[in-house]
A = this chain, B = another copy of it.
Amino acid sequence: MNNIISSKAKIGNNVRFGNFVTVYDDVEIGDNSTIESYCEIGYSNGREKMSLTIGDNAKIRSHSIIYQGSVIGNNLMTGHHVVIRENMQIGDGFQAGVGSVIMGETVIGNYVKTGSMVEIGQFSKIGNYVWIYLNSYLINDLYPPSDTIIGPEISDYAILGTACIIMPGVKVGRNSIVAAGCVLKDNLPDNQIAVGNPNRIIGPISKIKIPGTDQDAYPWRYRFHRGYPADVVDVWMKEEHEDVSKS
């Protein structure tokens, strides 16, 4: 046995460990979770002593680091080399892609998913069912370096495409889409599309059709369900479709 698991950690039933794992004090890990090799769970920021709670069915891929001081729901899934910092409040079903950095002091809803190498800055607020693709960043310093930190706010079902930058304090509306490579400086209302650097807002998401058809591609939840729990999908299937042709 080459793992170093604190005797003060509370490990649920049927939790599996890889090799060379470190679990620190005051960590609680839910049932049926997997902590893969070379992970550190309950890492201290060296300033204050805090606990860490991770729900059931977590799958924490190898070489990841999760700090003390957060409460994380069920069904957490990380890629490799992920860092999740302190004082987070994270819902169920959070997925962080390979090499992503989730800075502390952030509130994240349910079933938020990120691609690889994303950074979510401190004091961001992220709703439910948000997608943040590969290499997108939420930043927070209005005139860097400063202590005036204002995180972006991302509403439910929004999509941040590859390599977007969401500027400090900027709000992204419900169902809205920030296209790949966009530097978003303006608030984006509900159901709108932003593109470019600096951003232009080019109209409602109803403009985007599934290629080769006249069917709306967005809101995506009416057509894409892989990886979501049955009860969530059931609500999506039964709800009256939102009118997203204007914001």
Contact = CB atoms under 8 A, between A and B. Distances in A.
Interface stretch (A47-55, A137-145, A231-239): A137-145
A167 interface: yes
A244 interface: no
Given A62-B65, A117-B119, A162 B165 contact: yes
A194 interface: no
A19 interface: yes
Contact of A180 (B83, B115, B183, B226): B183
Nearest to A141: B133
A150 to B, nearest CB: 10
A101 interface: yes
Contact of A147 (B65, B131, B139, B224): B224
Nearest to A224: B145
Interface string A145-187: 1111000000000010111010100000000000011010000
Contact of A19 (B4, B99, B144, B145): B4
Nearest to A169: B211
Contacts of A210: 143
Contacts of A20: 19-20, 22, 38
Contacts of A75: none
A43 B167 CA distance: 37
Contacts of A117: 99, 101, 117, 119
Contact of A98 (B22, B83, B198): B83
A interface majority secondary structure = loop
A81 interface: yes
Given A80-B65, A80-B83, A81-B81, A165 B147 contact: no
Interface string A107-138: 00000000111010000000000010111010
A137 B159 contact: no
Nearest to A38: B38
Contact of A224 (B146, B196, B226): B146
Interface in A1-36: 2, 4, 18-20, 22
B163 A226 contact: no
B119 A119 contact: no
Interface core residue of A43, A83, A144 (most chain B CB under 10 Å): A144
22 contacts: A4-B19, A19-B20, A20-B22, A38-B63, A43-B62, A63-B81, A65-B80, A79-B83, A81-B83, A101-B116, A115-B119, A131-B144, A142-B211, A143-B208, A143-B220, A145-B220, A145-B224, A146-B217, A163-B163, A163-B183, A167-B180, A196-B197
